Amino acid sequence: MIYKRNKHFIAPRNRHRGLARFFFWFTLVVFLGAIIYVLFFSSFLTITNLKISGEKDVSEQTISDCIQPTISGKIWAAVNKDNLLLAKKTIMQKNILEKFRQVRSVEVRKKFPHELDVQIVERVPTIIFQGANGNFILDENAVAYDTVDPAASDFHWTDLPRLTDADGKNVTLGDTVLSGDYAAYVLGISVKMKSDTEIEMEKDFQTPSLISEDVRVKTKEGWGIYFNENIKLDKEIEMLNVVLNRQIDKMQRPDLDYIDLRIDNKVYYKFRDGTPEETARLAATAAEQAVQDATAISTNASSDNTDKKKKK
């Protein structure tokens, strides 16, 4: 009798437990299904805003066009790729860096629930360098990051100085072509000539060899100026102004061949019809001239003071 009584009590209890398990798993499946639907099939996490910042020379539209294939279409013909959770940041970044060489770095951030924030850092183009194997754009660190054709109709780097290496250096993308000091020196010539002189220059610079540290420029009047990195640029510009103001008349400038500033405290200049002997004879020492002027001023000042004392 006891056995039958226990049997009657246990059976209903097991049925209750089975029903509870069924409702538990049913609820869990429904809950998980709802989460999956909300996260992957509804519009809750659909990317509706693509924010791009930091771009300058690379247009916002071209960057957007580069990203769109990554967030367009479906995965397994079921889930939209424009889902914020499924957006692959690393692929977007890789595609942008490969397509736009001017972009130094890119960071893609997901901002819930609908936004992709793309932050661009561009290289700053500074110099066009012509080596043995073509023309390359150098960034602010003098790294060659892209090739360019100055003769092309779509060439738009017209404000950049163009440095030609007569020695014929071969360049590979990613190379640091110039030392930082030399690159700054070349750029400084453009700035200082414009701000501190009345001489207009062509954009084409030349160097016989990067080892020489020379920079040769052409003026729009047709004569050249020879610089060297070992001489302070401010001093070279000062010597140039002294020679142009005191030694060479403006009427003579069209006949100039070059002015050479590469020797400390000396300036050599040559006219187109001048011989080497005449070139040497016409050498002007700007620093010595300045010292003479300073001495004359000092002497005159001393004489004035002496006269004043005598009068007293």
CATH number at residue 73: 3.10.20.310
Do residues 255 and 302 both lie within one domain? Answer: yes
In this predicted model, what pLDDT tens digit does every residue of 183-198 receive, in sequence order?
999 999 999 999 999 8
Q: Would 95 be classed as within a structural domain?
A: yes
Global pTM? 0.72
Do residues 200 and 145 both lie within one domain? Answer: no
Q: Would 44 be classed as within a structural domain?
A: no
Do residues 131 and 227 both lie within one domain? Answer: no
Last residue of a domain, one of 146, 178, 210: 178
In this predicted model, what pLDDT tens digit does every residue of 91-139 receive, in sequence order?
999 999 999 999 999 999 988 888 899 999 999 999 999 999 999 999 9
Do residues 248 and 312 both lie within one domain? Answer: yes
Q: Would 145 be classed as within a structural domain?
A: yes
Do residues 114 and 70 both lie within one domain? Answer: yes
Q: Would 283 be classed as within a structural domain?
A: yes
Task: Check whether 1 has a pLDDT greater than 50.
Answer: no
Do residues 277 and 185 both lie within one domain? Answer: yes
Read off the pLDDT band of 307 (50, 70, 90).
Answer: low
Q: What is the number of domains present in the chain?
A: 3
Do residues 63 and 111 both lie within one domain? Answer: yes
In this predicted structure, what is the pLDDT of residue 254?
86
Mean pLDDT score, 34-52: 71
Locate 257 and state its tokens: 């061949």
Q: Would 109 be classed as within a structural domain?
A: yes
Q: Would 39 be classed as within a structural domain?
A: no
Last residue of a domain, one of 94, 122, 150: 122
Do residues 143 and 186 both lie within one domain? Answer: no
For a pLDDT cut of 70, what percent of the chain falls above it? 75
275 lies in which domain range?
179-312
Do residues 100 and 161 both lie within one domain? Answer: no
Q: Would 164 be classed as within a structural domain?
A: yes
Task: Check whether 42 has a pLDDT greater than 50.
Answer: yes
Strand 214-219 and strand 224-228: pairing? Answer: antiparallel
Q: Would 301 be classed as within a structural domain?
A: yes
Do residues 233 and 296 both lie within one domain? Answer: yes
Last residue of a domain, one of 178, 198, 224: 178
Do residues 172 and 191 both lie within one domain? Answer: no
Do residues 214 and 267 both lie within one domain? Answer: yes
